[in-house]
Structure 1
Amino acid sequence: MMSYKFKTNSMQDILTTIFKTLKGFFSFRGRISRKEFIMSFLTVFLSFCMLGSRFFLLWIVLFWFLFAQRAKRCHDLGHNGWWQFIPLYELWLLCAKGQVGKNEYGEDPQALEEDLSSQKED
């Protein structure tokens, strides 16, 4: 039987990231990075593929989640959340870099990720 040893800092980072992600899934406030948005997009896409049309009520929950994630990604680009309803704008959300530094919607999520990675190296 194999024994695995995890660094305490690594496990804490993982748990912190999971808690942060779960906490803000359905919130329309704040900003998310491009990486977080792509992961959210893939999660919803795969869920739709697996569920099919059988679980309509779950689709409503997934749409709410997707709209919230899109709004936060719009905020990261410095735009109102309503911009997500512009046709093909989601492609821009997937590709564009967010605004550097704090904007009216919150702190720069990329800077927060860099701070976490620099703390992990210390």
Structure 2
Amino acid sequence: MFKNPFSFKGRIRRLEYGLSVIIGFTAMLVAGSLSAAQSSNAVMVVVVLIYVPSIQFLLAQGAKRCHDRGATGLWQIIPFYGWIMLFGEGDPGSNEYGPNPKGIEYHDDWDPIANETKEKEASNQEFN
């Protein structure tokens, strides 16, 4: 978990995304509390040093979660799409952004309806 947390490449699971949101917003909350408590220049430097990596971390993790759902990272700027990223299932199997982070690959033979349809098509072709 948390491999290359500042990278925008790859895919992550819902759990990692949820933990990333909690960690990122907690860090920003602590920084905001520091700036509210004191307004000296030293405190503001510390706040910026916390905010910038936190924003980079949240954007990178959000982009990877978008990738897991088969979308570009820009989708995370859509209002309320974060809820879909948090609770929505990712693409089964590999997609253009990488392998399934769950390690589960989707195969057609796992789908009984698709298999039944293929069998019917194959038997129809034999009789034609």
TM > 0.5: yes
Residue 18 of structure 2: which of 38, 45, 48 is its match?
Answer: 38
Aligned-partner Cα distance in 2 for 1:72–1:107: 12
Could you report, residue by residue, the CA deviation over 1:16-63 in whole angstroms, capped at 9, with x for unpaired residues?
A: x5xxx2x41110000000011001111011112222144023201110
Q: Is the 8 A contact 2:63 2:73 kept in 1?
A: yes
Aligned-partner Cα distance in 2 for 1:67–1:101: 24
Question: 1:107 is aligned with what amino acid?
Answer: P
Aligned-partner Cα distance in 1 for 2:24–2:57: 8
Q: Is the 8 A contact 2:27 2:50 kept in 1?
A: no
Aligned Cα root-mean-square deviation (Å)? 1.4
Residue-pair matches, total: 92
Q: Is the 8 A contact 2:28 2:50 kept in 1?
A: no
Question: 2:66 is aligned with what amino acid?
Answer: C
Identity %: 42
TM-score w.r.t. length of structure 2: 0.67
Aligned-partner Cα distance in 2 for 1:46–1:59: 11
Structure 1: which 5+ residue stretches go unaligned?
A: 1-16, 113-122
Q: Is the 8 A contact 2:11 2:98 kept in 1?
A: yes
Structure 2: which 5+ residue stretches go unaligned?
A: 36-43, 105-128
- Runs ≥4 in structure 1, deviation > 4 angstroms? none
Question: 1:75 is aligned with what amino acid?
Answer: H
Give 2:66's aligned residue. 74
Could you report, residue by residue, the CA deviation over 1:5-24 in whole angstroms, capped at 9, with x for unpaired residues?
A: xxxxxxxxxxxx5xxx2x41
The question of 1:25 aligning with 2:17 is answered no
**Larger-Rg structure:** 2
Aligned-partner Cα distance in 2 for 1:49–1:87: 21
Question: 1:95 is aligned with what amino acid?
Answer: F
TM-score w.r.t. length of structure 1: 0.70
Question: 1:43 is aligned with what amino acid?
Answer: I
